[in-house]
Chains A and B, each alone.
Chain A
Amino acid sequence: MIVINRHKCGHCGACVGVCPENAIDLVDAWVEISDKCIECGICVKVCPVGALEIQHEG
């Protein structure tokens, strides 16, 4: 699962532009990640501030 630290996010939309599954939405100042996410981790790499993280369950 991808988790977002909304306190770090700078609402830049870079993660939205690289997501191959179109799973991310930038709604005003709010990033939403849908269940289309395949945990490829590309958005994590592009985020300029490290607001995104893959968290493995269990």
Chain B
Amino acid sequence: MKDEYDVLVVGAGPGGSIAAKTAAEHGLDVLLIEKRAEIGNPVRCAEGVGKESIKPFIESDPSWISAEVKGARIYSPDGTAIEMSEDIAGPEVGYVLERKIFDRALTLQAARTGAEVMVKTRATGLIIENGFVRGIRGEHFGDDFTVRANIVIGADGVESKVGRWAGINTTLKLSDIETCAEFLMADIDFDQDYCDFYVGNEIAPGGYAWIFPKGKHEANVGVGVLGSRVGSTKAIHFLKKFVDKSCSDGHILEIIVGGVPVSGPLERTITNGLMLVGDAARMTDPITGGGIVNAMITGQIAGEVAAKAISKGDTSTKMLSEYETRWKSAIEDSLDKSLHAKEVLTKMPDGQLDMLAHSIKDVNFGELTATSLLTEITRRNPKMLWELRHLL
């Protein structure tokens, strides 16, 4: 480790690794630190991702693809299925990843581009001088250190502290986080070609349960429940109930737990000398909970803006506002729509969810996005138009 870098990235998830790689590609001196001893482990993910959407970031490699799926289905409480499938969307619309290997491949990509990577290295605070973030304080293998940088990129995930240290309030309300538990299960009998989602106030209040195929009759079986709706039952209990009902014959090989921000993006994602990306900036989709791709998109933009700011010798908020303009034009619209849809859908009783599902069950959707579903719902249920007007 040197005393000073152009860019210091905190957190080697997909957001941090892509930010570090992008900055290094532009010839910057980059340090990427990760507090865990092992990149990508423990996993906190159901690992589902659109095939096309990850293409710009890494060349596809069978080592981190567990399964390819032809489509996705949403089941309403009474079992009605809404389907999106390959006939319309093209073959193999999605991957179920092996995140442990995927995350490492992304970090390796950053390292091979020239970024210095350090594991078991945790940021513990920021160096702030004259209102500018100028580096971090940290801890590596029990030893404290400080390291200076012109720009710090906070990619430190759901438990992000970097923003808080800089005075940005990133605290998630209970109504803005899904509390999740998942089993990797073997020997269960299900359709290996689809990612399945189950909604309903009993199965998963304010969230959903999922079965995502991992190949070889294995699957990620999980439940996410809105923090404000869990009551005294824990996510793990919802999961056990779901497993008892849908796949009790399977064997549990791994337990995964996690929190997914569903608040919509932070109002402020920058300050002098600092940008926040991915889960740290709450970039996950509030309806699907998917955050891998948005972490990479925002990481890439942050890396590019860092390069421009450093070449101009200006790391002020004014200069870095290009980061906000660009991520907004890339993903703000879809995040906004999902956030509104979350507000409406998470309050619906089961009967209403069933009614909506019945109204669109014969439509074969090319893409399973909040917008395409809701456009169809309002077309067929004109009375709902008023409640859903923000979404269209």
Contact = CB atoms under 8 A, between A and B. Distances in A.
A2 B81 CA distance: 43
B243 to A, nearest CB: 15
9 contacts: A10-B42, A13-B159, A16-B158, A25-B161, A45-B174, A45-B179, A48-B179, A49-B235, A49-B236
A18 B258 contact: no
Contacts of B255: 10
A12 B44 contact: yes
A48 B132 CA distance: 37
B120 A28 contact: yes
B15 to A, nearest CB: 14
A17 B174 contact: no
Given A10-B258, A28-B35, A48-B180, 15 more contacts: A10-B255, A12-B158, A12-B257, A13-B44, A13-B158, A13-B159, A14-B257, A15-B259, A17-B158, A18-B173, A22-B171, A46-B227, A47-B179, A50-B234, A50-B236
A14 B120 contact: no
B177 A14 contact: yes
B42 A48 contact: no
B42 A11 contact: yes
A3 interface: no
A39 to B, nearest CB: 16
Contacts of A22: 161, 164, 171
Interface string A18-58: 11101001111000000000000010011111100000000
Interface of B: 35-37, 42, 44, 120, 122, 157-161, 164, 170-174, 177, 179-181, 227, 230, 234-236, 255-259, 261
Most chain B CB neighbours (cut-off 10 Å) among A10, A14, A26, A45: A14
Given A14-B179, A17-B172, A49 B159 contact: no
A50 B256 CA distance: 14
Most chain A beta-carbon neighbours within 10 Å: one of B35, B230, B259: B259
A28 B234 contact: no
In order of increasing CB-CB distance, the 9 nearest A-B pairs are A14-B259, A13-B159, A16-B159, A10-B257, A48-B235, A48-B257, A12-B258, A50-B234, A12-B257
B253 to A, nearest CB: 15
Given A17-B159, A27-B122, A48 B173 contact: no
B362 to A, nearest CB: 36
B227 A26 contact: no
Nearest to B231: A45
A52 to B, nearest CB: 10
B36 A13 contact: no
A47 B261 contact: no
Given A10-B256, A48-B236, A49-B236, A20 B122 contact: no
Nearest to A21: B171
B180 A42 contact: no
Contacts of B235: 48-49
Contact of B261 (A11, A17, A26, A27): A17
Contact of B37 (A15, A18, A28, A46): A28
A46 B177 contact: yes
Contacts of B172: 17-18
Nearest to B182: A48
A46 B160 contact: no
A46 B261 CA distance: 12
Given A49-B181, A49-B236, A18 B42 contact: no
B257 A46 contact: no
B180 A17 contact: no
Contact of A45 (B170, B171, B230, B258): B230
Contacts of A12: 42, 44, 158, 257-259
B258 to A, nearest CB: 4
